[in-house]
Amino acid sequence: MNTNTNNPVYSVSEFSHVIKKLVETNFSYVRIRGEISRPSFPGSGHVYFTLKDTDGTISAIIWKYTLPKLSIKPEEGMEVICTGKVTTFAGQSKYQIIVESMEVAGEGALLKMLEDRRKKLLQEGLFNQENKKPIPYLPERIGVITSPSGAVIKDILHRLSDRFPSHVYLWPVAVQGEGSAQQVSNAINKFNQLTDETNIKKPDLLIVARGGGSLEDLWSFNEEIVVRSVFKSSIPVISAVGHETDTTLIDFVSDLRSPTPSAAAEKAVPVRNELIARIDELNLRIKSSFNNKLYGNKDRINYLIKLLGKPDQIFENKTQKLDFIYKDFENLFKDIFLEKKNLIAQCAQYLLPPKILISNLVSKQQLLETKFKNFLESQEFVNKVGGIAESEGHHPDIWFGWGYAKIKIFTHAINGLAESDFILAAKIDKIS
């Protein structure tokens, strides 16, 4: 046991500071390869995890301001190479690495992570065919998300101009490296936020494109943030990432996958000259069909006319027949009119004029006035007339005295004589 009392005595905090200085002095930047284990994402925004291999572990931290700069995001089981500074944490007497950059350790690890992510998103339904939107046949406005420099945007613009010129909105983004995935995702989201009321109208179609490259170069288009933005897009999306042999996760979620950026432009719009030629062809076919129909109907009408004969002859016969019928009706009405006229004349012979009838009635009344011998006879006659008047419901005016009776029959409602007056007079006449 060493009991050397000449060694300095450190407090715990002093010794921790010495160790911290020693570690940070001897190890400035280091690159450590290992597997990510138990990543933690607290509310502070920092990321805490453990790097491990078969024989050891080391704690790792990613500060929240560093996280957006990383090309990949830490995931459980991912084999990575972390670059950063080694420091110590006195509170727990341990050393740790402050990660400033991170990359996947080898293509094999990338492919495994890619396959795991593909299966995960597939299970969520992001690649289902029923979720894909139809590509508009003739989009008026096309949004292109790619690098503003290089051959990709030039190829797209050239192909669009040759086929069918459209309004093209370029949203410049980094297509690889740190922050690339976030830029692509933001571009998709911002295009979808446009409306017809904004200064720039909402595109009818989006093209996400970049040229070929390695698996690492194309990795931004395998990030979940990009895949989910494409899935949520209300605007149809054509993916054109890499060459024909390259496949990224954006190809699975997009509404249409194109092998190259140039091919994406060809899929986006038809050839204008071909459309014009097709329209001209259809116009000729319509005219030809119309003429054939017209001439066919004309021949049929001429044939029917021949079967029917001349219209004038048809109407002449019918007109003549109508004249005969009219003449027959005219003669018939004349005969009926004459018959009824003669009948009325015959009946009129047996009728007396109203003046004569009234005169006879007055005469009859005058006779009634001088008919009776005394007052008693006059009274008896008046009583009989009263009985008749009651039965008929029609009451005349009566004056009587010694040897006479005067009766006035008159309908006051019409201020003249009615049929009931003549009936009452006839019945009174029978008893006089």
Q: What does the block give as tokens for 416?
A: 């003249």
Select the CATH number that applies to the domain covering 114-130+139-270 from these four: 3.40.50.1100, 3.40.50.720, 3.40.50.10550, 3.40.50.10860.
3.40.50.10550
Q: Which class for 259: exposed (0-12), middle (13-18), buried (19 or more C-beta within 10 A)?
A: middle
Q: What is the pLDDT of residue 413?
A: 75
With beta carbons less than 8 A apart as the criterion, state whether 87 and 22 touch. no
Q: What does the block give as tokens for 413?
A: 């409602």
Q: Which residue type occupies 206? A: L
CATH topology (fold) of 354-431? Gyrase A; domain 2 (3.30.1360)
Q: What is the pLDDT of residue 270?
A: 86
Per-residue pLDDT 10s for the chain (432 aa) are 555 666 777 666 766 676 777 776 677 788 888 889 999 999 999 999 999 988 889 899 999 999 888 877 888 888 888 999 888 776 666 788 899 988 887 767 778 788 888 999 999 999 999 999 999 988 999 999 999 988 899 999 999 888 888 899 999 999 988 789 999 999 999 999 998 788 889 999 999 999 888 888 888 999 999 999 999 999 999 999 988 788 899 999 999 999 999 999 999 998 877 777 778 888 888 888 888 888 888 888 877 777 776 666 666 667 778 877 878 888 888 888 888 778 777 766 656 566 665 655 554 444 445 467 888 888 888 888 888 888 888 888 888 888 888 888 877 777 777 777 788 888 887 777
Domain boundaries, the chain: 12-105, 114-130+139-270, 354-431
Give me the count of residues in the chain: 432
We find that the CATH architecture of domain 12-105 is Beta Barrel (2.40)
- Cα→Cα distances 169→48, 166, 218, 316, Å: 41, 10, 23, 77
Place of tokens 């921790």: 16
What's the rounded Cα separation, in Å, for the pair 94 and 87? 9
